[in-house]
A and B are shown apart, each in its own frame.
Chain A
């Protein structure tokens, strides 16, 4: 019998095949961390845009520059991904779509919508 100390641990991330719901779940965490890192910059731009005519023009210029558009595109896609996987978690909390087939379907659906958003946001912003 294994005790708590010597239980076998198998955590080789390259060999574990996560189900699609698991992949979506870890993506939710990664995008969440990335969005957290963007908070100070977003708050700064928001403050600057309200600080006066000059600050507003600076922010508009930054966001509409090629680099600004690229960063905006990436952040929008990350946000949409976090939004959709979060929405799915909320529905699962309410016991909606809990069975295996439905949960897999909704996970794939979230990934497909994010893919479409990449294309859509790309065509709008770039």
Chain B
């Protein structure tokens, strides 16, 4: 579904990606793990069109998408849930969700308002509240819900657990598991390797802008190097 081939990207003088290749197949959840600054977010942002590539190719369902503007990538059905819960703070929860529909362009919706409320019931309760007044966990649910309103064929998630309490993280990942069960294809960037490996089918390990390992998540979880580096003491 998504093919990234030998992608090289630099910005502000730093070589962020040094020839990354990666595949995401329809229906799977693929995790991307690695230390801070390894290039995880750079990869997502290049796929989303926010960052320009130097060389390489990104193909989505047979169409080249590298070089497209972010809004065009979105309209093709790749929706990114950005890091840091970027809600539209001054708008209500409902309005945030409605803005998500912009991404549909001519495509038919896959998740309606009711479907999103079913996944995240709290959003229905809070629908008329200012998004900025929600708790961190509720905001994370809102940005995922907002992306669902855009009818994602591929959902990119950037650090969904960041800064959330363990109980809330569990809730968010439960919802992601539900979405996966419904057939949604997900590319997940996550610093918490344990979380990433238990909630994905396959995973890539990225270090200093290069993929250093890729395998089924189950096998990576028992890989001695990965356990030592990423699953270590926590």
Do A and B bind?
Answer: no
Tell me the A residues contacting B by CB distance below 8 Å. none
Tell me the B residues contacting A by CB distance below 8 Å. none
